[in-house]
């Protein structure tokens, strides 16, 4: 659904900026007033890595007035496979230095580098003054801290993630204007969720550019009031299948509160876990290359994106498994919302493999 523009436009663009952004001015519905809104905007980008890199490049090129870049890391050689803002000569230097340099080479965007790690304690301070936030961090604890700060500040959060060949993009906003409906990170992922690091499972480099570009587009749409942002919708990208699909995102808190007595203090959106499937079917939501390495005997393989696209095709009761549990929890919540009895295999395949590993044979001491 369309939303009102997030910021008021500046009075006028400079002659140079008007020439530089002329192709935006020719876009129907965006036009010069949209470009003046972009020039007035202050966007905070958390993370200057795989997702933050294309976001910074796109927003600086678009002419965003101010970018706050929050990252405490330095460039590593292994980053360069996907973090396109950095160069070989940047290895060992702060990632925020690359952001300042590339933005200055693209436009007059003012960049405020912040070499701090965003935490629950400093999140509100670091994000204060931003019209919206783009989260490109790669650890779930950081994502929760960013989301919490945005909820408290009431600013929209453009959120994305990449893992292996899969990506997700959405918009969270605790206090959106009409007709928007508030959605939060906790509506998509349970608090305390975990996901394997890309250093453990890998990430397809070009996918970072694709997801980052979509995130930058969402930010510009919110700033200008053009189009329909992904508020209440999650875009799912499968780079192997070359597909993009979306699922609806409902406010889990409101739904759960309406479904339980007012006197109850039960946790919202709890997905039960089991250590063994017993006589229940097993649904493996990992990718095919992961399943080929190790899988529960007799498990049905249905990748997470396919489950989220249509959870009603799965018949319960079912125990959902992924590598460590994060994807399984997402799938189980979608299944339970669709009326399918679902549990999560505690600890995922990693824990199951450890539990079922053959005991070592005792040998004579040498």
Distances (CA, A) of 193 to 88, 123, 210, 222: 34, 19, 24, 28
Strands 166-172 and 157-163: antiparallel
Active-site position among 150, 208, 296, 322:
322
- Using the structure block, give the residue that is written with the tokens 């203090």: 265
Active-site position among 150, 198, 208, 296:
198
Residues 269, 252 contacting (CB under 8 angstroms): yes
Q: Is 296 a catalytic residue?
A: no
Residues 167, 209 contacting (CB under 8 angstroms): no
Cα–Cα distance between 230 and 225 in angstroms, integer? 12
Cα–Cα distance between 141 and 268 in angstroms, integer? 19
Strands 233-238 and 243-248: antiparallel
Q: Can you name the residues that pair with 164 across neighbouring β-strands?
A: 203
Q: DSSP code of 183?
A: B
Q: Is 208 a catalytic residue?
A: no
Left (φ > 0), alpha (ψ -120 to 50) or beta: where does 129 sit?
Answer: left
Residues 255, 246 contacting (CB under 8 angstroms): no
Cβ neighbours for 309, distance < 8 A, ≥ 6 positions apart? 236, 245, 247
Residues 222, 152 contacting (CB under 8 angstroms): no
- 104-108 own/partner pairs: CB under 8 Å, 24+ apart: 106/57, 106/60, 106/61, 107/17, 107/20, 107/60, 107/61, 107/62, 107/63, 108/14, 108/16, 108/17, 108/63
- Using the structure block, give the residue that is written with the tokens 């808190």: 253
Buried/exposed code over 263-280 (b: 16+ C-beta within 10 A; e: otherwise): eeeeebbebebeeebeeb
Cα–Cα distance between 137 and 144 in angstroms, integer? 10
Active site residues: 198, 322
């Amino acid at each position: 659904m369309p939303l009102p523009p997030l910021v008021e436009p500046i009075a006028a663009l400079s002659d140079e900026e008007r020439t530089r952004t002329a192709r935006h001015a020719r876009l129907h519905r965006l036009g010069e007033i949209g470009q003046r809104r972009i020039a007035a905007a202050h966007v905070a980008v958390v993370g200057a890595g795989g997702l933050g890199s294309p976001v910074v490049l796109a927003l600086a090129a678009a002419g965003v007035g101010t970018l706050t870049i929050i990252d405490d890391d330095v460039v590593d050689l292994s980053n360069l496979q996907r973090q396109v803002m950095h160069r070989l000569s940047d290895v060992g230097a702060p990632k925020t230095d690359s952001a300042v340099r590339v933005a200055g080479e693209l436009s007059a965007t003012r960049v405020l580098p912040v070499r701090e790690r965003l935490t629950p304690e400093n999140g509100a301070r670091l994000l204060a003054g931003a019209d919206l936030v783009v989260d490109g961090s790669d650890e779930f604890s950081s994502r929760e801290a960013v989301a919490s700060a945005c909820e408290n500040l009431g600013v929209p959060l453009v959120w994305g993630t990449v893992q292996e060949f899969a990506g997700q993009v959405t918009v969270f906003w605790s206090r959106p204007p009409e007709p928007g409906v508030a959605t939060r990170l906790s509506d998509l992922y349970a608090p305390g969720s975990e996901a394997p690091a890309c250093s453990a499972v890998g990430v397809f480099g070009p996918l970072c550019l694709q997801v980052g570009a979509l995130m930058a587009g969402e930010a510009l749409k919110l700033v200008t009031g053009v189009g329909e942002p992904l508020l209440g919708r999650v875009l799912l990208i499968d780079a192997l299948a070359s597909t993009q699909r979306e699922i609806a995102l409902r406010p889990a808190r409101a739904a759960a509160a309406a479904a339980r007595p007012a006197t109850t203090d039960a946790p919202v959106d709890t997905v039960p876990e089991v250590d063994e499937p017993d006589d229940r079917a097993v649904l493996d939501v990992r990718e095919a290359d992961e399943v080929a390495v190790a899988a529960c005997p007799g498990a049905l393989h249905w990748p997470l994106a396919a489950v989220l696209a249509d959870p009603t095709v799965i018949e319960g009761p079912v125990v959902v498994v992924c590598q460590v549990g994060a994807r399984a929890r997402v799938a189980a919540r979608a299944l339970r919302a669709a009326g399918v009895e679902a549990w999560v295999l505690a600890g995922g395949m990693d824990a199951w493999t450890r539990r079922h590993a053959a005991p070592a044979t005792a040998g004579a001491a040498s």
